[in-house]
Amino acid sequence: MTFDPGASIARRDIHHDRVWSVWPCRVLSDTATRLVVARWPGAVGYGNKDWIRWLRTGDDTGRKSAIASLADNSWELAPWPWQWTTKVISHLPGKYFSVDVTIPVDGMPLSWYVNFERPFRRTAIGIDTLDLALDLVVAEDLTYAWKDLDEYDRARRLGIIDDTEHQQVEAAREEVVDLIEHGNGPFTDDWSEWRPSPEWKLPTLPDGALTVADMA
């Protein structure tokens, strides 16, 4: 199953057979080695209410509550329009990470954002994965800094990430650092001039995006 360029698909985080978050994206390309999608301000998805509260207020208790609710299956979803950045996202089959490119806006420098997550599974409406809390921010000069190590450790303590999956994440961390230090993989792509086609409307969620079912 592949998706046509320009198609609107759902990128979902799934846990306990429920949707944890979901965002609409436009497909830029889809091959055996990489699925590349884009998301830009105004696209409406759904996220954890506590996480949205943190985004709106900066109150860190919302971020901490979001991880706790993921562990005990108690979260609630709310709509949220994507804001602030345009992203081109490379999803790599079988990998415990994806690589976002933040497109320069208003003088901002280009940067990459590596999300560590479960290998994606294709569905009839998009892809399913689960964000594993750990992130890596990579500057245009390929210097990098780890982010959300506290969230990752908490997710481990709460049982969201078991020892076997932790080993997979550790291997993925080494692989990503090697790609950065040798300037390989998604870090060789130049998306600095990319903008959504004027003919494209904002991506929207397909029907059934909030329901977990056998969509393979």
* Segment 79-105, tens digit of pLDDT: 999 988 899 999 999 999 999 998 876
Superfamily of domain 8-188: FomD-like (2.40.380.10)
**66 pLDDT band (50/70/90 cuts)?**
confident
Q: What is the mean pLDDT of the chain?
A: 92
**19 pLDDT band (50/70/90 cuts)?**
very high
| Percent residues over pLDDT 70 in the chain | 97
Average pLDDT over residues 12-35: 96
pLDDT given at position 107:
64
Structure tokens that stand for 42 in this block? 């105004």
Query: What kind and span of H or E run contains 20?
Result: strand 18-30
Give dist(CA 7, CA 106) in Å, integer: 28
For the cut 70, the answer to whether the pLDDT of residue 206 exceeds it is yes
| Percent residues over pLDDT 90 in the chain | 75
Domain chopping of the chain, boundaries: 8-188
Whether the CA torsion 23, 29, 32, 33 is positive or negative: it is negative
- The neighbouring-strand residues paired with 127 are 11, 122
Structure tokens that stand for 80 in this block? 């949220």
For the cut 60, the answer to whether the pLDDT of residue 58 exceeds it is yes
Structure tokens that stand for 12 in this block? 């979902």
Length of the chain: 216
**215 pLDDT band (50/70/90 cuts)?**
low
Per-residue model confidence as pLDDT tens digits over 146-203: 999 999 999 999 999 999 999 999 999 999 999 999 989 999 988 888 889 888 899 9
> Which residues are CB-neighbours of 148 under 8 A, at least 6 positions away?
133, 134, 135
**53 pLDDT band (50/70/90 cuts)?**
confident
Average pLDDT over residues 61-81: 90
For the cut 90, the answer to whether the pLDDT of residue 108 exceeds it is no
**214 pLDDT band (50/70/90 cuts)?**
low
For the cut 90, the answer to whether the pLDDT of residue 128 exceeds it is yes
